[in-house]
A and B are shown apart, each in its own frame.
Chain A
Amino acid sequence: MERFDYLIVGNSVGAVGCLETLRSFDKSSSIAVIGEEPHHVYSRALLPYYLDQEVPVEKMLYRPVDFYDRLGVTPVLGRRAVGLDTAGHVVKLDDGRIISYGKLLLATGGRPIVPPVPGLDTEKENICNFVALQDLQRISRLLPSAGRVVVLGGGIIGLMAAEALHKKGLEVSVVELAPRVLAPVVDEFTSRLIEEAFRRSGVAIYTGTTFKEVQGGERATGVVLTDGTSLPCDLLVVAVGVVPRVDLAREAGLAVNRGILVNQQMETSAADVYACGDCAEVYDFLMGNRRVLPLWPNAYAGGRVAAYNMLGMKREYDRATSMNAMHFFDLNIITAGLNTAGEKDGFEVVSRFDAGSRSYRRFVLKDDRIYGFTLVTGIARAGIFLHLMRRGCAVTSFKEKLLEREFGYLTIPEGLRRELLSDEGVISEHAAANQ
């Protein structure tokens, strides 16, 4: 039986965050990573970016080709973990191999949701998800014969796919069940700005409706919406999100809610088993609860914190919350925290829209601190706001200034500024003492 000191199930960003941190401190322990797909670690987030190219796998890679070698990691690719025995400290693979581990990280990610609609089946020739390299490869093969595409889902992935397909020359329609696009992520005003950008570019957006049925046999030929609209199509992309992949953990008896439950040290309910990324429920510092936060930075940072604790260096993950950088046509958008909350939920909202530049800034405040922000168009230096939010800084005294495009550290009152800038030595100690 093979044995590794550290074993990681999953081969995406959470795994990389963990691997890189493990190797920063421990050069000699044995590490293996199990990847279900037969590919070197690649970025799922890049799928929309490479839709219009000839699937250059090298350009999808998230780390250089010598990554596993250089880090002394054993990749086990094209194999799926099908069993976990936490008492025996072993993982069973789909080819019957048994691998024993010292510490285990579950970074199994998410599974695309396919709503139960008559005729909607991703086994069909021209119905695809949009989460894996093979989805991209399928879509690329279908493109030459496709003129019309319907995208189910007006979230980030659906909208990015829609834009990329539009740029490929297809006639694109997006269907979103909620009354507006990106409803869980941005406020209504931002939704309208985004919908406007799509419509101006010639992409049709249907909101407040969904598929009633998909027409056609082996090949989808069109969809009928619940409001009666018929949309013919040659390609159907299902992008309504992902659910945590928890089968392995659940069958092994780990505590699982929507995702695998972890504490702030990323430990699951089983000894020596950790979890991070889209498969886990992590602590959201803003909401003060545990929830699935399937976002890239959270997965990497979760893997990193897990690694520290696997190494016996106690660390807590206390900086996760929702955050997104998006762009649709000419709109750049950055959001973080609670953005759908408003005055009626007991928050104070300050916002400003500049019609000339079409820039929009919105802050959700409560108890003297930032709970969420949305920046549209003027997104430079957005991270300063995330920083203020994560540190729970008091902002009421300068809340109107948050709306200014030139906002920076010099806008922040001196005492707080000094505190924030001393973290990574932005200013010299001499200045910090005398400023």
Chain B
Amino acid sequence: MPRVVAKPEVCIGCHLCEVWCVVAHSRSKNILKAFLHETPRPVPRVVVEENLPFTLPVHCRHCNEPSCVEACISGALYRDPLTGRVEHDAGRCVGCYSCVMACPYGAVVMDEVNRKVARCDLCKEMGEPACVKQCPNRALVYQDSFTS
């Protein structure tokens, strides 16, 4: 399963992964425009935990048997059997937050302004995830296949 894996021992807690995640999911794809002019601004889909000096970025795991899909009442969250990716169709999301209840990693992010959720989609339209590409200390690794 493709997914982003963290190396917390080299994560410096700069939160640039969050910044670039917002840009990647903005309409303009431009850092200044996204942060200055887009309302509502997209929410970052990576959760960077901080308990200094430790920091830990957590992304959606695209689990084999996703608890979020199991809990989703609208069918907005589903696991594509061909790509293995867990997808989220925001158009169908009703903001019940059952997935927030279910995700064992806390990797489903609440978008309270739009009453929806957002999750790491691995920047599927861009090839490599933006957070991985922009991480200054290479604390994030894109894993194309994963066998557990």
Contacts and interface: CB of A to CB of B under 8 A. Distances in A.
Range of interface residues on B (Cβ < 8 Å): 35 or more
A325 B108 CA distance: 14
Contacts of B65: 304
Given A383-B106, A425-B61, A45 B73 contact: yes
Contacts of A271: none
Contacts of B71: 296-297, 300, 325
A323 B56 CA distance: 28
Interface string B121-148: 0000000000000000000010100101
A323 B101 contact: yes
A360 B47 CA distance: 22
B94 A325 contact: no
A430 B97 contact: no
Which of B103, B109, B146: most chain A Cβ within 10 A? B103
Which of A304, A381, A387: most chain B Cβ within 10 A? A381
Interface string B81-93: 1000000000010
B8 interface: yes
B49 interface: yes
A411 B6 CA distance: 17
A427 B61 CA distance: 11
Which of B7, B95, B102: most chain A Cβ within 10 A? B102
A322 B139 CA distance: 38
A61 interface: yes
Contact of B104 (A17, A334, A384, A427): A384
A406 B96 CA distance: 21
B73 A383 contact: no
A428 interface: yes
B73 A296 contact: yes
A292 to B, nearest CB: 18
Interface in A393-416: 406, 408-411
A82 interface: no
B109 to A, nearest CB: 8
A408 B54 CA distance: 12
B105 A424 contact: yes
Contact of B49 (A24, A46, A410): A410
Given A381-B103, A383-B104, 12 more contacts: A49-B96, A63-B78, A297-B102, A301-B70, A327-B97, A332-B97, A383-B101, A384-B104, A387-B104, A390-B104, A410-B55, A426-B5
Q: Rank and list the top 8 A-B pairs by shortest CB-CB distance, nearest first.
A: A381-B106, A387-B104, A45-B73, A410-B51, A424-B61, A383-B103, A408-B49, A297-B71
29 contacts: A20-B81, A45-B96, A49-B74, A49-B94, A61-B75, A296-B71, A296-B98, A297-B67, A297-B71, A300-B69, A304-B70, A323-B101, A379-B100, A380-B100, A380-B106, A380-B109, A380-B110, A381-B47, A383-B100, A383-B102, A383-B103, A383-B105, A383-B108, A387-B105, A408-B56, A409-B56, A411-B51, A424-B104, A424-B148
